[in-house]
A and B are shown apart, each in its own frame.
Chain A
Amino acid sequence: MEKTIVITSGKGGVGKTTSTANLGTGLAMAGKKVVLVDTDIGLRNLDVVLGLENRIVYDLVDVVEETCKLKQALIRDKRYEGLYLLPAAQTRNKMAVSPEQMKTLVEELEKEFDYVLIDCPAGIERGFKNAVAGARAAIVVTVPEVSSVRDADRIIGLLSSSGIEDVRLLINRLRPDLVRKGDMLAIDDTLEILGVDLIGVVPEDEMIFRSSNLGEPAVADDNSMAGKAYRNVTKRIMGEEVPIMDLEQGTGFFSKLKKLFSR
């Protein structure tokens, strides 16, 4: 996959920021030099999810307005070698930055880093345009639910008209039990509707609440299912072929029996 990736969704609250934090941390754990750019000016959150909120001095708008040098605004995560955050401004609005400025900024970052992950705000207005401006590929995050899938479709259309062709889908918060009962869109249903390639499926996992409470991405936690899923997505971003976790298969007696006979 291309190395400058925007993480977007259209709808809010589906896990863009959590995914950005986990994928960035995962890439850094794999030895890559990664910068995470929070483009949600006015509503920044990537800093708290990563546990770096107390270390912000300068932000994205300061860099664009040349109040500081780019290097001064980058926060190095001391826990993971090679992981950096460029935080969004909190007291400004999205109009403070233009898509052209973002493009220049991202090109600058590409010289220094192996991967540039851009966390996109919800919506399709200026914030989206800023986030997409410098990106060469996109990961669209959706939850298996009508409003989120609908918005994802809109975003996929907008990405292609912005010239981004490498678009992958990340299905987040899948509940295998509900899929089995027929009360949640299955992975294949969502893929059929949206018609894009899958980069991964992250199951609903209570550990995510814990990890954002603590500011420690779940990807580093060996006991977290979501963490494992994010580690797999990280590998796929780096070009490894990893099978999608078998989440929808039942674990009960009858499912096992069915599996036995369907072989």
Chain B
Amino acid sequence: MGWFFNRKKSSQVAKDRLKLVLIYDRSGTTSNNDMINMMKRDIMQVISKYVEIDEQEFEMDIRSVKGEEEGMSSQLVANIPIKKIKQMVKNR
């Protein structure tokens, strides 16, 4: 009986599938690479205030991850190797 109540409308399935497939389609286009590079630059600026990072090895990407319960989901994955943590001087 469960299937009867849980059954999703096919239009909802279409919508969910489209949302997911478009993340990958969009991530392959140049405008998206630009977006990732811009995000990278911004994040680099913020992090550099606190830790010294290896800018060459800084990686960022959009990836698909298999969810625990059902289906795939998308994640923004960043790998930021740290060279040195700056000595924080407390203000005041």
Number of A-B pairs, beta carbon distance below 8 Å:
44
Of B26-34, B64-72, B80-88, the stretch lying at the interface with chain A is: B26-34
Report the Cα distance A158→B28, complex, angstroms. Answer: 12
Nearest CB in chain B: distance from A225 CB, A? 21
| B30/A183 in contact, CB under 8 A | no
Verify if A258 is at the interface (C-beta below 8 Å from B). Answer: no
Q: A150-B21, A193-B19, A193-B22 are in contact. Are A157 and B29 (CB under 8 A)?
A: yes
Q: Given A160-B31, A183-B9, A146–B26 Cβ distance below 8 Å? A: no
Q: B29 → chain A, closest Cβ, in Å? A: 5
**Does any Cβ of A come within 8 Å of B57's Cβ?**
no
Answer yes or no: A153 CB below 8 A from chain B CBs. Answer: yes
Residues of B within 8 A of A179 (CB): 11
Q: Is A252 an interface residue (CB 8 A)?
A: no
Query: Does A189 make an interface contact (CB < 8 A)?
Result: yes
Check A189 against B21 for contact (C-beta < 8 Å). Answer: no
CB pair B25–A154 under 8 Å, yes or no, is yes
Number of interface residues of B (CB under 8 A): 16
- Of the candidates B10, B12, B22, B31, which one forms a contact with A150 in the assembled complex, judged by CB atoms under 8 Å apart? B22
User: Can you list, as one digit per residue, whether each of A152-180 has a CB less than 8 Å from chain B (1) or not (0)?
Assistant: 01100110110000000000000000010
For chain A, the count of residues having a C-beta within 8 Å of the partner chain is 20
Chain B residues numbered 3-21 whose CB sits less than 8 Å from any CB in chain A: 9-12, 14-15, 17-19, 21
- Kindly list chain B residues whose C-beta atoms are within 8 Å of the C-beta of A154: 25, 29
Smallest Cβ-Cβ distance to A179: which chain B residue: B11
Determine the residue in chain B with the shortest Cβ distance to A192. Answer: B15
Contact B25 A182 (CB under 8 A): no
- Contact A153–B22 (Cβ < 8 Å): yes
The answer to whether A182 and B10 have CB atoms under 8 Å apart is yes
Given A160-B31, A161-B30, A193-B18: A150 and B11 interface contact (C-beta under 8 Å): no
Residues of chain B having any CB pair with chain A under 8 Å:
9-12, 14-15, 17-19, 21-22, 25-26, 29-31
